Amino acid sequence: MITVALAGKPNAGKSTFYTAATMADVDVANYPFTTIDANRGVTHVRTECPCLDREERCGNENCRDGKRYVPVELLDVAGLVPGAHEGKGLGNQFLDELTNADVVLNVVDASGATNAEGEPVAVGAHDPLDDVDFIEEEMDLWLAGIVDRNWESVERKSRSPDFDLDESITDLLTGFGATEHDVATVLRELEYPDDPKAWTADDREALARAIRRRTKPIVVVANKVDAAPDGAVDRLREGTDKPVIPATADGELALRRAAEAGVLDYDPGDDDFEIVGEVSDGQRAGLDAIRGVMDEYGGTGVQTALNAAVYDLLDRITVFPVQDASKWTDGTGNVLPDAFLLPSGSTPPDLAYAVHTDIGEGYLHAVDARSSRRIGESHELSEGDVIKIVSTAGP
C-alpha cells in the first residue's frame, strides 16, 4: 500500500489531519510534542467509481454513490524542529519513521500563530514560509548523515575488481526506498569522483539531497486557513515551488464527526455539505464558518491534499481488475471489488503482477471490460480502466 507521511513542526495540526482522515482517536492539543509515538492508519484517496457508467451503483463498501475511496496508509509522527537531524526535539526518531514514506505532506500552520518550535504566539507573528523549507532541509541533512556514516561500505566494495558504484550506492539506500533506477538517474545529474575514497562530504550531501527529492516528494498543506491572515496562502505559493494545498484539518474533523452522527450529509472531498439533523445555534454558526472556508478554497483541503500527493506527485492511476468482463465482478459476484493505484504508464501485465505474482507470471492476455476488446501487452492503462486479466494462474 502507498504510504503518505504527515511531517511538520509541532502543533501544526498533523494529528488533527490524521484523525480527520482516518477517524482514529489520537491526542490533539495546543502545545508542542503532543504526539510522541507514531500513529499509523488507513485513509483514502478519492476518485470516480467506474460504476457511474452503469445503471446501478456497485455497492462496494468504498463507494458512496459513485465516489470511490481507495485505501492508502497514513503516518502521523512527532513534530520536527530545526536541528532535528542532529537530535533536537524528538528529531531522529521521527526522521527514521519517514524511511517508509512514499510521499510527504508537510503540514504548516498558515495562521502563523505558532513559532518554529510550535509554541503558541499571536496570529501572524510567525512566517509560515520559514516552516516550508526547514522540513526539507532536515530530511536532506538526516539522509546525508546516513550516507556519511555508511560510506565506508562503498569504499570497501570499491577494492573489489567487479565494483559497481551504482549498485553499491543502491545497497546503501534501498532501505530508504531508492531503487537502482533512482540512483542511476540521480548520479547522471551529479558530478563526482570515480573513486569513492575521493568523495567529499559535499559530494555525499549532494547525493543525499537528490535522492531525497526523488524518493520523498513533498506537498505543502497550508493548514489552519480558517484562522490565517488574508494573503497567507498566496504568500506560501509565491515562496515555494511545491504544490500548496490550503486546508482546515479542524474543519474536516468537525464535518466528519457530524456526518458520522447523522447530522450532516457530507462525504470526504465534497465541496459543500447539507445539514440533515438537529443542530444548536452554536453548531450552526460553527458549520457556517467552515462553509465559508470551503467556499473560498473548494473544500476543506484534506482530501485534496491526499489526492495531490498520490495522483499528482506519485503520478498514480486507479485501475479496477475484474474476473467477469461483462458483469464487472469477481468470482463471487462482487461488482468492482478492487482498486489498484498503479504508476501511470502501467500495462496489463503490470496490473497482473500487482494483483498477484502468480497471475503476473501466468499472464496470457487482458480485456478492456468497457469495450470488451482485447488489449495488447504494451497498452498503457488509464485512470478508471476496468480490466479482466486472463492468466494460467487465474480462476
Ligand X SMILES: Nc1nc2c(ncn2[C@@H]2O[C@H](COP(=O)(O)OP(=O)(O)OP(=O)(O)O)[C@@H](O)[C@H]2O)c(=O)[nH]1
- C-alpha cell, 367: 480485456
Report the nearest approach of ligand X to the CB of residue 139 (Å): 16
| Distinct helix (H) and strand (E) counts, the chain | 12, 14
**Would you count residue 173 as binding ligand X (CB under 6 A)?**
no
H or E, element range at 373: strand 373-375
**Would you count residue 10 as binding ligand X (CB under 6 A)?**
yes
**Would you count residue 303 as binding ligand X (CB under 6 A)?**
no
**Would you count residue 114 as binding Mg ion (CB under 5 A)?**
no
Q: Which is nearer to ligand X, 78 or 352 (CB)?
A: 78
Q: Is 209 left (phi over 0), alpha (psi -120 to 50) or beta?
A: alpha
Buried b (16+ CB within 10 A) or exposed e, 32-51: bebbeebbbeebbbbbebbb
Report the nearest approach of Mg ion to the CB of residue 120 (Å): 15
User: Which of the ranges 3-11, 43-51, 62-70, 175-183 carries the binding residues for ligand X, by CB under 6 A?
Assistant: 3-11
Report the nearest approach of ligand X to the CB of residue 207 (Å): 30
Site string for Mg ion, 24-63 (x = CB under 5 A): ----------xx----------------------------
12 binds, among Mg ion, ligand X, none (CB under 5 to 8 A by kind): ligand X
Q: How far apart are CA 182 and CA 172, in angstroms?
A: 13
Q: Which residue is nearest to ligand X (CB)?
A: 79
**Would you count residue 304 as binding ligand X (CB under 6 A)?**
no
Residue 73's DSSP bridge partners are 3, 42
Number of residues that bind ligand X (CB under 6 A): 26
Report the nearest approach of Mg ion to the CB of residue 35 (Å): 3
Q: How far apart are CA 300 and CA 307, in angstroms?
A: 13
**Would you count residue 299 as binding ligand X (CB under 6 A)?**
no
Q: How far apart are CA 335 and CA 286, in angstroms?
A: 39
10 binds, among Mg ion, ligand X, none (CB under 5 to 8 A by kind): ligand X
User: Which of the ranges 23-31, 265-273, 318-326, 353-361 carries the binding residues for ligand X, by CB under 6 A?
Assistant: 23-31
Q: Which is nearer to ligand X, 78 or 210 (CB)?
A: 78
- C-alpha cell, 30: 495546543
One-character DSSP codes across 250-263: HHHHHHHHHHHTTS
**Would you count residue 28 as binding ligand X (CB under 6 A)?**
yes
User: Which of the ranges 24-32, 177-185, 271-279, 372-380 carries the binding residues for ligand X, by CB under 6 A?
Assistant: 24-32
Give the three-class secondary structure for 365.
strand
- C-alpha cell, 242: 511545491
H or E, element range at 75: strand 67-76
**Would you count residue 15 as binding Mg ion (CB under 5 A)?**
yes
Site string for ligand X, 203-242 (x = CB under 6 A): --------------------xx-xx---------------
Number of residues that bind Mg ion (CB under 5 A): 4
C-alpha closest to that of 113 among 255, 16, 285, 232:
232
User: Which of the ranges 13-21, 222-230, 231-239, 285-293 carries the binding residues for Mg ion, by CB under 5 A?
Assistant: 13-21
Asked if residues 175 and 99 have their Cβ atoms less than 8 Å apart, the reply is yes
Q: How far apart are CA 226 and CA 127, in angstroms?
A: 16
Buried b (16+ CB within 10 A) or exposed e, 235-266: bbeebbebbbbbbbbbbbbbbbebbeeebbeb
144 binds, among ligand X, Mg ion, none (CB under 5 to 8 A by kind): none
- C-alpha cell, 390: 486472463
Q: Which is nearer to ligand X, 38 or 375 (CB)?
A: 38
Site string for ligand X, 46-85 (x = CB under 6 A): --------------------------------xx------
Positions touching Mg ion (CB under 5 A) are 14-15, 34-35
Positions touching ligand X (CB under 6 A) are 8, 10-16, 28-30, 32-35, 78-79, 118, 223-224, 226-227, 248-251
